[in-house]
């Protein structure tokens, strides 16, 4: 599993009815393995929102069959890997092919409003890293300009690294989220 | 899903009675909000103290309903949020578009002063 030294393995059946129980199970496993130097409250909050969004993504996109979660924890980091064989992320095959190795061309704005901007950065053909930036305005804003899709943004903002890869040969989607302690 | 517990000339207070708000009920939740706005034509104060779990689909439904309220020159105000849900809202900066209060009574006091 993609350099993921996993300690917890969990199979999710992609049903909304099992969302909360699955979340609580994984959070329970994480809670018992957070190293003492880490801020457990902050780590658990971040894991809660990240795993919730990964489960929601599975319900929406993973289709039939199960979605696998692998969670690895060591002294420096926590890594959550979500693997499924559903439809690839809509960004696959949308990379700008005129990149010529220029990192500026590897970055694409995928959503933006006055609050947040979300970017996809192609590390390679089928490997995408997400990044976000805060908007510059801090006053109350015209709500009609605010986006309504927050899943990828929530994971990006809650993690130290969030990547997606797609294996065309096996039709496998892997979302990997890293939180540093 | 939403129970009206108080109505004044200016606002409604609606208690959200579900504990889990996610993609399985977000469309229904948004439809209830729109119906309340249409029927009462008042600022809607949502008391969310029962809510323990939310996801992006619920937040999207809230934003969509807020846009609808704003188009009617109304508002949706949030109250009683658990600290982790409030932190999630702050994480994606929706505290810049929603007015948020600790308690519904506090929200109603503020709405009356608008």
∠A135-A139-A142 over CA atoms, to 5°? Answer: 80
Do residue B20 and residue A19 have CB atoms under 8 angstroms apart?
yes
Distance of alpha carbon A162 from alpha carbon A169, whole angstroms: 22
* ipTM attached to this prediction: 0.94
- Closest chain B residue to A153, measured at CA: B92
Query: Which of B20, B24, B70 is the closest to A143 by Cβ?
Result: B70
Mean of pLDDT values over A39-61: 96
Q: What pTM, to 2 d.p., does this model score? A: 0.91
Is A179 strand, coil or helix?
strand
Would you state the pLDDT for residue A81?
A: 97
Q: Are B103 and B81 in contact (CB under 8 A)?
A: no
With a cut of 50, say whether residue A64 has pLDDT above it.
Answer: yes
Give the strands of the sheet with A161-167, arranged side by side: A8-12, A67-73, A77-84, A172-180, A161-167, A127-134, A116-124, A107-112
With a cut of 50, say whether residue B10 has pLDDT above it.
Answer: yes
More confident residue, B47 or A122: B47
Work out whether the CA dihedral A100, A101, A104, A107 comes out positive or negative: positive
Residue A135 near chain B (CB below 8 Å): yes
Distance of alpha carbon A42 from alpha carbon A27, whole angstroms: 12
Mean per-residue pLDDT of chain B: 96
Token pair belonging to B42 = 């008042």
Express each pLDDT in B84-95 by its tens digit: 999 999 999 999
Q: Are A151 and A120 in contact (CB under 8 A)?
A: no
Do residue B96 and residue A138 have CB atoms under 8 angstroms apart?
yes
Mean of pLDDT values over A149-175: 95
> At A143, is the pLDDT very low, low, confident or very high (cuts 50, 70, 90)?
confident
Would you state the pLDDT for residue A74?
A: 92
Mean of pLDDT values over B93-111: 96
């Amino acid at each position: 599993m993609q350099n993921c030294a996993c300690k917890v393995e969990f199979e999710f059946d992609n049903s909304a009815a099992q969302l909360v129980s699955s979340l609580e199970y994984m959070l329970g496993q994480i809670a018992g393995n957070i190293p003492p130097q880490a801020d457990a409250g902050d780590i658990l909050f971040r894991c809660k929102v990240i795993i919730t969004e990964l489960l929601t993504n599975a319900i929406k996109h993973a289709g039939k069959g199960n979605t696998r979660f692998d969670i690895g924890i060591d002294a420096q980091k926590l890594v959550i890997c979500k693997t499924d064989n559903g439809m690839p992320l809509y960004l696959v095959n949308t990379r700008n092919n005129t990149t010529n190795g220029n990192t500026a061309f590897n970055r694409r704005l995928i959503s933006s409003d006055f609050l947040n901007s979300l970017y996809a950065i192609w590390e390679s053909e089928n490997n995408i890293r997400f990044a976000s930036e805060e908007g510059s305005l801090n006053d109350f804003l015209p709500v009609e300009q605010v986006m309504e899709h927050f899943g990828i943004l929530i994971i990006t903002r809650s993690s130290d690294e969030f990547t997606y890869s797609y294996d065309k040969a096996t039709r496998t989607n892997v979302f990997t989220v890293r939180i540093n302690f | 899903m939403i129970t009206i517990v108080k109505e004044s000339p200016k606002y409604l207070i609606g208690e959200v009675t579900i504990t889990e708000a996610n993609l399985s009920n977000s469309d229904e939740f948004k439809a209830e909000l729109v119906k309340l706005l249409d029927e009462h034509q008042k600022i809607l104060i949502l008391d969310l103290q029962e809510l323990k779990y939310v996801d992006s689909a619920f937040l999207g439904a809230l934003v969509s309903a807020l846009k609808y309220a704003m188009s009617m020159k109304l508002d949706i105000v949030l109250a009683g949020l658990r600290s982790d849900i409030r932190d999630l809202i702050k994480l994606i900066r929706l505290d810049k578009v929603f007015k948020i209060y600790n308690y519904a009574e506090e929200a109603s006091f503020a709405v009356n002063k608008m």
